[in-house]
Every structure is written in structure tokens, then in C-alpha cells.
Structure 1
Amino acid sequence: MSQPAGPLAGLRVLDLTRVLAGPTCTQMLGDLGAEVIKIERPEAGDDTRGFAPPFWPETKESAYFLGVNRNKKSVTMDMAKPEAQAILHRLLETTDILVENFKVGALAKMGLGWDQLKAKYPRLIYCSITGFGQTGPYAPRPGYDALIQAMGGVMSLTGEPNGSPQKVGVPVADLFAGLYGCIGILAALNHRTATGQGQQIDIGMLDTHVAWLANQGMNYLSTGENPPRLGNQHPNISPYQEFPTKDGYIILAVGNDPTFERFCKAFGQDHLLADERFATNPNRVANRDLVTATLTPVMKSRTTTEWVAALEAEKIGCGPINTLADVFADPHVQARQMTLEMQHGSGATVKVIANPVKLSATPPTYRSAPPVLGEHTDEVLSGLLGMSAEDIAALRAKAIL
């Protein structure tokens, strides 16, 4: 049975991105059905093709690249050359969305900036993803995930109370920028449906990072004080943290007072309910060290597996602290089909992480594996632009392709 067309089927995306933020955005568009044409540098390609080890077994592809480049057609092209720019303009005639993450002003030097394209292609949706956005004093600076995590404040919130600031273990600044970019594109598509007009979407990684500071950002704005690093504890709820068990660790998430009361009555801690320091969540937060010290020996009395079973029976939030091996072996993760295998252009089968968006009528589709460098150059230039084999060979001989 053929896969249903995605909600973005029929739309064409010109992908001028590399590394992670931009490719995250364009892979989401591809998963939702759009045709994504990824432009890469001849011979070198996207930087992440070389972000290894690890390489996927029996291929020359990095695991990093494979993670964010499925459902894309790879076309190699030296964009600095006028002949390549002319080809891009021909592609833009039938392009709905352009996504780029060049430094501010770099594409304008090639005649491909928003101000140069908007009049010629009035329906074009042009999404720019950069470290600091198109305006402001930092706009010319390059953006890197760790740099944005540092400047965006999350590192001041992450880590043990007496330890050093810590970044998150995955590049969340890149990922959030890509997803916010995708949200902006979907909004711009709706606007274009209503008006016929495209627009530019200006995504700055620092902006998106500030936006997802969420409760901690609001905690600062309401008090003027930087929230302290709390390790794995929650800044506004207690107990909501990791505890040692008899054989490991567990996360205990007591989200409100009725849940804490249920915990105490189920596990022999009724006496705590008569203690004002434990009676309400604000009081438990104010006395978090006492809460931790009091509950630690209780939690050490059972194994992690025993606690998960007992707490789930009482409908109290909890969970083991899984390794990635545990995650991908988890029966729920497997039931939700969060990995899939795809046939790669090298001939090998690669396993990738699935799209988490579950749509009842138009679910994400997995039409093609992350491409080999330049895998679709001839197909796109001949099929979309009608170029002959001789024309393509001539461009290749000039090192344009």
C-alpha cells in the first residue's frame, strides 16, 4: 500500500542549509510531504557528513548527517559561481519555500538575498536561520549551539548547585531554532493561502533560546534574581527530582499536594503531613533540602523496578533514568514506532529516529533515506530544468556541479 500524501505534498523547498538547525527544519518539511532539494558543496557536502566517528556501518556517512537529512534530494553546486546562481534562479521559479542558514548578508552577495528575490518571486517564503537574527548588534556573528546555550542563560541554570555551569547533552539551541523555523514557515504558508504573498521568516537561535527559558525565565522576571542551579530538582515543585534507590536511581515527580498526600499514606510517611514544612508545595520548595534528606532513606529501601511498580500503582509520576540502550529497547518507544529502517543509496540499511508528530489523516512519510552526496544532481537538473546530459557534463567539467 502506498503511503498517504503528506499535508505539504506538492510544495517544493530549496534547502540551502547545513549542520543542524536548518536541516532539522527542512527534514520536518520533507517528512510532512514537501519535496526538499538540498544544495551541497561539490566534494565536501554538508559539514556534518564529516562529523564522525561514528560512521554508519558499511557506509561513508556520519550518523550525525543521517539523523536530519532524510526525504531530501542532494544536488551538488558551487553557489559562488554565476552559472550555479543562474541554476538556482531557475529552480526558484517553481520553489515555494527557501530555507537558509548563511551568515547575514552572505546570500545577498550571490544575488540570493531576500530583498533581491521578494519582488521577482512574490509568493516565495524565505526562512533565514542564524545565530543572532538579521538585526541587532550581534547579527554578523556566527552562531554555535554551545555558544548560544551559554549566552542564552540555560547553562547558568543547569548543573549541580556547587558545580560548574553545564550545557544540555544534545544541541537543543540548534533543534529549537529549526523547529521554530518550521512553525514560522507553516504560519507563512497559511498567510500565503489567504493573500498570495510570501514573506521572510527571521529566526535567531538566541531569540528562540530566550523564548524557551519558560518558567525559569519567568521566575527571573518576577524576582530579578537568577534562579540557582539545582541539579535534577525542579525550581517550583518538590519533591520532583532524582533519588537513589537500592540498586540505582529513579525520578520521583510529585506534582501537587494531593499526590504528596497519596505518597505519604502509601509508603508509611503519614507523619509528614502534620509537619508544616511538608504540608504544601510552597513549603516543601522552601525546605527542599529537608525534603530531600527525609525521603532519601525511604527511596533507598527498594529497587528502582520495585519503586516504579509501587508508584505507578498509586498513580504517582516516576520513571527510571534510562541509558539510550534502555530508551530504544523500551516497549512503549517501540510501540510508538520511534525508529525505522531505510534503504540507503550505498546499499546498506540504516536505522533512523522517526518523526514524533502523529497525524491521523496525513502522517509523516518516509520516502527516501538521507542521500549520498550529489545523488540527485542529474535527476533534478534534467527532470525539473530540462537540462541535457551534455549540459550537465559541461557544468561538471567546470567544477560548477
Structure 2
Amino acid sequence: MTNSLPLKGIRIIAVEQYGAGPYGSMYLADMGAEVIKIENPKIGGDVSRQTGPFFLGENDSYFFQTFNLNKKSITLNLKSEEGRAVFEKLVKTADAVTNNLRGDQPEKLGITYEALKHINPKIVCGHLSAYGRDNDRASWPGYDYLMQAEAGLMSLTGEPGQAPARFGVSMVDFMTGAVASLGLTAALLGAHRSGVGSDVDVSLFDVALHQLSYPATWYLNQGHVVERVARSAHPATVPCQLYKTQDSFVFLMAMTDKFWQVLMDILDDEVLKAQRFAKVADRRENRDLLTQEIDRVLGKHPTAYWLEVLKGKIPCAPVYDLPQAMNNPYIRDTGMVQKVPHPHNADMEILANPIKVNGQRLVGKASVTMGENTQELLSELGYDEQAIAGLKQRQAI
């Protein structure tokens, strides 16, 4: 499997930390790229190594492992003259340099295409920042939750009449990391064809705003404002929301006339078969009444009963909490939980990459200790043991 990975032979230097950048570059590492993570020895490396509350020995954490599988680590101080020299030698051997620094930092650090093209004309430079590098917010720090707030996503999340709510996890970070890895891969393909590299920019804010998708299109063209609907319902299609069963909730999505008819055959209730619910527009107009009637029918049995009756016929799902989601047999049957041995936990488990290649899950390897590959990489670049010791003494590595 390792030899057939699509990005095998691609070398990527990653100047990154915490979430969005490492999440995106981990996709590239999982797909076979040699991702070399640069960690500043003066600050203890990636800050997420110290992100608790759960740790794995010294200067490592489960949080860090979540975003850094399959990568190498080199300690390097890019602000020192000797550290910069090492970096430039690495650039000569690399296909891409990626970072998730503040928008004004890549130029200051000299990790843009303009700064590196004389070293390697094919180098692709990926920049993931909060607000981009070409506007008056370039120097602003920024995080996922801020983007959810300003881009309008929080206003669409939660129940009507309640305070706006954020997503349960940092989805803007993860989406931006994935988009950044897509952009970098596309630019790599272009550079391999043309021999000329480029800068590729992605920002948290732009990706968050882009996730507004069709509500944004509706507003821009028709002035229509999508608002929150009770029970996490779809703004336009009915039925598509949470419904009450005898003991909990089920999310039901009979979004087409075909699925509606199948649902009617299964539920076999005369009130639901009434003309007022016959068409998509009718169901939308009578949403509240329809919710009451579906609740009434589903309330006759527990969720487990309805899932058994509806599975494979109507799009539906239980509403699990985190333990239930993690203990769902389906995710282990499909290989989405993977054992990744770690020196401090031989049975460490991680969620697997969702991409399959030739029907096979991508294999995860635990992230290494900070700087574990420094000696190996410096030796490859021509540094002998004495030179490496000198670099370490002078805090360049």
C-alpha cells in the first residue's frame, strides 16, 4: 500500500502549528507525501504538543497526534542565519513549502514564491492564514470561532429565539485545511507540468464565507434571508429535521416525493396521507402541523424500532452523543477507527483518514518526537556530525 500512494516522492516542508495547517498537511502525508514539519526549538515546537488535558510523555499530547500522523519533524530556527541556510538547502530538495502563519509573516520570513524561486523555480508555496495576505487584515490574528461569527454561520446555527451557536467542533479550521491541501496539490500538478511554481493562498475567513453556499446565492440574487428553523430543519425542504420518538429523537429526511411516498407506506397513517401534505410545497407550507403529526406517529415506538423499520429505505439517523458515536459498531466495521501504536500508548486509537485508495484505508503512523528526523535530514543535506553539533550549540536547530 505504501508504495502505491499517489503522493509518494513529493516532499513538502510545513511551517505550521496547532489545527488548520497541520490538519491539511496531514492529508498530504497520509496520501504518501514526505511532510517535514519544522518546529522552532526555542519555543518547544508546535504549541499543540502542550495542548491538554491529555498528554503522552514529555512534549506530546493526544491533541498533537490528532493532526500530525505520518509526518517527519526537524527542529529549525528560521530566524537565525544558520537556520535559514539549512531551510534553503531543504527548499532545493522540496516540491512545496506550506505554512499557516499570520498573513503578514510569510513575506517577513521569506517563505513566499518570490523569496524562494531563485533557489527552486518549481517550488509551490502554500499560505493558510486568518484573513489572507493582500488586504488590511493581513496582520490580524484569527481563529475558527471568529470566522463562524463574522461569516454568518453562527446566525444560522441553533434553535430559533436562542443565542447564535458555533459548530460543536472547529469545522472552519478543518475545511480550510482541506481546501488548502487541495489548492497545494493542484499547484503541484501545475508546477510539474510547467516547471514554474506559485503562491497558493487560502484564508479561514474566505472558506467560512464560502460555506454559506446557497443561502448566500439566494440573498445575493433574491434578497432572501435564511433563518434558523426549529428542530435543526432544512430551510426549504420538508420533512428534513429532528422528530420525536418514544424515547429520543431521530433525524428524518424524506426530501423527495419518492421518499415521501415510501415513508407514507411505512407509517401507514391516514392523517399524514391527507392532501394538505401531498406535495413538496404543501409540506413546506404546513411544516409545523406536519411536525406534530410525524411526532405523534413516531412517538408510538422507540428510536431503535424506527431505525430498524426505516433503514435503507428512508434517509434517517439516530442522534448520538460522543460516546455513542465512538462506540457505534459501524465505524469499526468500516475501519474508521485505527490503532496507531505510540511509545507511551501501544494501543492508541485515532480516527482514520476518510479517503480510500484502491479500496484500502490509508495507514496512520504516530507523529514523532520533536526534531526526531533532524539528524537524518541534515545528514542528507551534507552536514556531518560536527557541523550538526555546532548548529545545535548555536540554537539554529
Instruction: Give, in whole Å, the separation in 2 of the partners of 1:166 and 1:115.
Output: 41
**1:108-148: per-residue Cα shift (whole Å, max 9, x none)?**
22333332112432100110000111222322211200001
User: What secondary structure is seen at the aligned counterpart in 1 of 2:2?
Assistant: coil
The 5 A counterparts of 1:118-133 are 118-133=117-132
Deviation at 1:24, TM superposition (A): 1.2
Amino acid of the residue matched to residue 142 of structure 2? G
Instruction: Give, in whole Å, the separation in 2 of the partners of 1:41 and 1:87.
Output: 13
**1:76-133: per-residue Cα shift (whole Å, max 9, x none)?**
1222211111110010000101101112232322333332112432100110000111
Instruction: Give, in whole Å, the separation in 1 of the partners of 2:44 and 2:309.
Output: 54
Structure 1: segments with no counterpart, 5+ residues: none
Asked if the contact 1:126–1:200 (Cα under 8 Å) also holds between the matched residues in 2, the reply is yes
Instruction: Give, in whole Å, the separation in 1 of the partners of 2:131 and 2:382.
Output: 39
**1:275-309: per-residue Cα shift (whole Å, max 9, x none)?**
33x12222222322222122212221110100101
More displaced 10-residue stretch of structure 1: 386-395 or 343-352: 343-352
**1:149-208: per-residue Cα shift (whole Å, max 9, x none)?**
111111010010011101101111111111111111221122123212211111011111
Instruction: Give, in whole Å, the separation in 1 of the partners of 2:360 and 2:297.
Output: 48
Instruction: Give, in whole Å, the separation in 2 of the partners of 1:246 and 1:135.
Output: 55
| 2:262 alignment partner in structure 1 | 262
C-alpha distance 378-49 of structure 1, shift in aligned 2 (>3 A):
same
Q: Percent identity?
A: 31
Deviation at 1:267, TM superposition (A): 1.4
Q: TM-score, structure 2 length as denominator?
A: 0.94
| 2:92 alignment partner in structure 1 | 93
Point out which structure has higher relative CO (alpha carbons under 8 A, 6+ apart): 1
Deviation at 1:376, TM superposition (A): 1.6
The 5 A counterparts of 1:183-332 are 183-231=182-230, 232-276=232-276, 278-312=277-311, 315-332=313-330
Asked if the contact 1:12–1:35 (Cα under 8 Å) also holds between the matched residues in 2, the reply is yes
Instruction: Give, in whole Å, the separation in 2 of the partners of 1:258 and 1:251.
Output: 18
The 5 A counterparts of 1:2-401 are 3-42=2-41, 44-56=44-56, 61-231=60-230, 232-276=232-276, 278-312=277-311, 315-346=313-344, 348-360=346-358, 364-366=362-364, 368-382=365-379, 384-401=380-397
Q: How many residues align?
A: 395
**1:322-351: per-residue Cα shift (whole Å, max 9, x none)?**
223222332321122112122224464421
Instruction: Give, in whole Å, the separation in 1 of the partners of 2:249 and 2:361.
Output: 36
**1:213-256: per-residue Cα shift (whole Å, max 9, x none)?**
22332333343133111241111211111112111111111121
Deviation at 1:362, TM superposition (A): 8.0
Deviation at 1:19, TM superposition (A): 1.1
Asked if the contact 1:7–1:362 (Cα under 8 Å) also holds between the matched residues in 2, the reply is no
More displaced 10-residue stretch of structure 1: 186-195 or 65-74: 186-195
Q: TM-score, structure 1 length as denominator?
A: 0.93
C-alpha RMSD over aligned residues: 2.0
Instruction: Give, in whole Å, the separation in 2 of the partners of 1:72 and 1:353.
Output: 16
Runs ≥4 residues deviating over 6 A: none
User: What secondary structure is seen at the aligned counterpart in 2 of 1:270?
Assistant: coil
**1:355-401: per-residue Cα shift (whole Å, max 9, x none)?**
111121786343x311212222212212x212122212222122222
Deviation at 1:270, TM superposition (A): 3.3
User: What secondary structure is seen at the aligned counterpart in 1 of 2:317?
Assistant: strand
